Chain A
C-alpha cells in the first residue's frame, strides 16, 4: 500500500507544482514507483513542468468519470520507468470532481504505487478540498514572505480540521544573502511562527527556472544546490536522516577563496 502526500500552500505561485515534480521525480530516482497527480483542474501545469504536455490523451476527470481506465489516464515519464503523471483536465472546472471520487481514485493509485504526490491548486475552495481528500500526509510549501507564511498558517489550520495533523513544511526560495543582512525571514523565524516540522529548505536558484524552461525537473541534475535540496527531501521521505543543506555554498568558490586569504 502506497503513501499519498499532498503538496499544498494556500497562496499561489510559491512553487507547489515545481515541488511536486521534483519530489515525484526524486522519489522515482531512488527506485520508487511514483505517480504525480495534478488536481488543478482548469489550470493544469504539472504536465509542462514535467515536460510531458505532448503526451496527454486522457485526464483525471476522464478517469474519475470512467471514460477511460485508470491505466489509460496515466502518462509514463520519458526518463524514469517507475514515474507516471495523471494530468488535470484543462477545459473543465474544479466542480467536475468531488472529494469522494478523489478518495476512491487515490485509494486505487495506492494499490499500485509506492508514492502518490498530489499537486494542489491555490486557494482553499473545492479544488483544495479535492486535493486533500485522499492524502495521508500534507506538505506545505511557503516562501519567506509575509503573505505566503500567513496563507500557510491558514492552510495548516484547515488541514488539521480535516484530520491531516502534523503537516510538514517546505520553505522555498530562501536567499541566503538577504537572510544574512536581515532582510529576509530565516528558517528559524518561519518555523517559530508556524510551529510545524520542517522537511526541507530550497534555495532560490536560477537552475530551477532553466530546468522548468526545458521541462526537466532540476532534481535530475547533480550540481545545482536546489537539486541537492530536493534530493535531500526525497531521502527524508523514504526515512533517511539527512542534515539541512548549508546554503552558504551559494557564495561560490571565489568569494570563499577571498575569505580564506583574509582570514589569515
Chain B
C-alpha cells in the first residue's frame, strides 16, 4: 500500500514514453496487421469451403432434379372382354393372366395405322415401359367393370423415351448413335402433337422397390431397409453405449484396465468400417448362421460401429456437467446412482442426444460394412420384416451408380438428394432436441 509513495514508482514518465515510441507503435501496427491477415485467411477458408459445398450440391441437384419427373403416354385402350375374360366369370386369376401387352399393341396399331411391319410394331411397343401391361392388369384388378369398355389411360413410357423427352438423348445425331430410332422419334412427335405424351411427378421413385428398368425403379425398398437397420442399430447402440459411458465416467475406478478400455474405445472409433463388415460376416453370418442381406444383421454390425461414437460423445457430455451438481446431490444424501440419474444425466442429455443422432446419421450413410453382409443384393420387394432381404439407401445409390442405363444416372443423384434430405432432417432433430433439453446451471 505504501509503495505509491516510493520514489521509484513516481518516475512514471520515462516508462510511459516507452509505449509511445516509434518502435512500439510500429510493433503495434504489425500486431494488428497479423490479426487482419489471420482474419482474411479464415474468411478465405470459409469461402472456399462454402464454394465446394455449393458445387457439390449444385452438381447433384442439377443432375438429379429431372428424376422427380417421369414421362407417360396416353393411349385409348379397349378392354376387350373377349381378350381379357372370354368366359365372363370376372375371376381375378383369369383377369390377372390376360394378355394386356396385346391390348397395348392393338391400341398403338390404331394410333399408328401406317406401322404394319412386325419390326415397326415392336419398335412402337418399345415406347412403353415393359411394366405397362402390368399397370393395365392392376387397373382391371382394381376395377373389373373396365372390361368391355374403351378408356384413355396414362401408361409409363420406357426410360429411353423418358430420357429423349428430357433432352438427354439428342435428336440431331445419326440414328445409330441414339437409343431412340427415327420411327420412335416420329411417333413421339405425333403423340406430342396430340397431347398424349407428358411428364408428370414420378411417384414410382418413392413407392417402388428396385428394378432393372429405370422407369420402374424406386427408392422405397431402400428407405424401409435403411430404417429397419437403423431401428436395430439404435435399439442396441443407444442403451449399451450410454450405460457403458455412464459406468466408465461415473462409477469405474481409475485403474490400468479402465484406461485400457478407454484407449480401445477411442481406437475402435477410428477402425475402418469395412472391418466391422468382415466381423459381421465372420461372426453373425458364418458362425451364428443369421440370414444374409437382413436388416437385423446390418443393424447389429452398424451398432458395433456406432457404439464407440456414442460412448465417446456421452462421456464428453457427462464430463461437461459441473462437479458442483454431483456434490450438491451427494451432499444431501442422494446415492451415486440417484445423483447420476436425477441430476447428471438430464444435464448431459443434450450432448448425449447430439452424439447419438450424429452416430445414427453416420450409420445411415454407411455402405462398406453392409456390402460384406450381403445387403448389396438386387432386391425388388419392399422388406416386410427385420429378417427379410433388404438393401439400404447408400447401397442403393452405389448399385444405381453402377447401372449402365442413362436414366439411372439421374435417379442416382435423386437418391443422393433423398439420403441427404434424411441426414439434414436428423441433424435438424439433433439441433431441436439440444435446444429443447438445454438448461442453464
Is the pairing of A and B real?
A: no
Which A residues are closer than 8 A to B by beta carbons?
none
